[in-house]
Amino acid sequence: MFLLQIDWDPIKFLDLGFFKLHFYSLMWIAAFLLGFQITKRIYKNEGQSEESLDSLFIYSVLGIMLGARLGHVIFYQPELITEDFFSIFLPFKFAGGFEFTGFQGLASHGAAIGMIISMYLYNKKVLNKSVIWILDRVVIPVASGAVFVRIGNFINSEIIGKYTGSDFGVVFKQLGETEPRHPAQLYEAFCYIFVFLALFYFYWKTKKSEQQGFLFGLFLVLLWTVRFFVEFVKEAQNIERAEWALNTGQLLSIPFILIGLYFMFMYKPKTKLS
């Protein structure tokens, strides 16, 4: 009767006494390390220097992490601005007692905006090529990283799905629950694997990388289409809404999808890449 039900009650961290090693943070580290290796292969194929690759890694980490954190605070937890300001930028909680929390509360929409801004700065300061050229290539490792981030969310029992109303699903024991929910985090992680494979295929097996904006646009369309539909089985995050209305995650996904379609089918670069 309960073959399709999973009781989920993992440990979230290793307590080393002076330091707690959160598995969620390890998922982010794995995402960046794998992304670095993928980008290294792409840059080698493009004839770019290792120095420019090292700079790209630094800009990417700072841009994505800051963007993800600020995005979460602005869209989902704005009270932190007045109640615990320094916890926005540091992996610590100060309100109600000092505590190491690791990097928690990160929004993918903010990460996307942060990535675009950091790539603009990276191009201006380091590469001097084209922001779109860079975005067409960095979205490939970003898509692979999204898989690890959602697995991290599952480990943390956060961004949970709605109750399934059946024996199917995951019981998040850490939340004190007894009824199964949709493992929305795993749905997303599984779909993001195919987003990565699609981008990887179009880059290495076709000439679409020569069409400026296509891969970046495809990334936006695929990733946020996945996000849009998975949101139907997610619990709303701290925001009241009517049952029939789209939630915040869906509303924020629509502009990204439209921008993606523009870059795939309408965008015309002003200058040709040499």
Residue range 67-88, pLDDT digits in tens? 888 888 887 788 878 777 777 7
| Position 239 confidence tier, pLDDT thresholds 50, 70, 90 | low
Give the pLDDT score at 201.
97
Question: 267: left (phi > 0), else alpha (psi -120 to 50), else beta?
Answer: beta
Alpha-carbon dihedral of residues 103, 27, 160, 235, nearest 10 degrees? 60
Minimal CA–CA distance to 147: which of 266, 34, 270, 262? 34
Residue 200 sits at the vertex; the CA angle it makes with 197 and 204, to the nearest 5 degrees, is 140
Residue 204 confidence class, pLDDT cut points 50, 70, 90: very high
Residue of 231 and 274 predicted with greater confidence? 231
pLDDT(274) > 50: no
Q: Is the pLDDT of residue 226 over 50?
A: yes
Mean pLDDT computed over 10-26: 73
Find out whether 150 is annotated in a ligand binding site: yes
Question: What pLDDT sits at residue 143?
Answer: 95
The pLDDT value recorded for residue 147 is: 96
pLDDT value at position 38?
96
Which segments within the chain are labelled E, that is strand?
5-8, 13-15, 20-22, 92-93, 99-100, 169-172
How confident is the model over 138-177, as pLDDT tens digits?
A: 999 999 999 999 999 999 898 899 999 998 999 999 888 9
Q: Yes or no: say if 188 and 150 are a contact pair by the CB < 8 Å rule.
A: yes
State yes or no: pLDDT of 118 exceeds 80: yes
Q: In this structure, which amino acid lies at residue 37?
A: Q
DSSP letters, 35-70, are: HHHHHHHHHHHHT--HHHHHHHHHHHHHHHHHHHHH
> Residues with Cβ < 8 Å from 240, sequence gap 6 or more?
none
Spatial distance between the Cα atoms of 230 and 191, rounded to a whole number of angstroms = 10
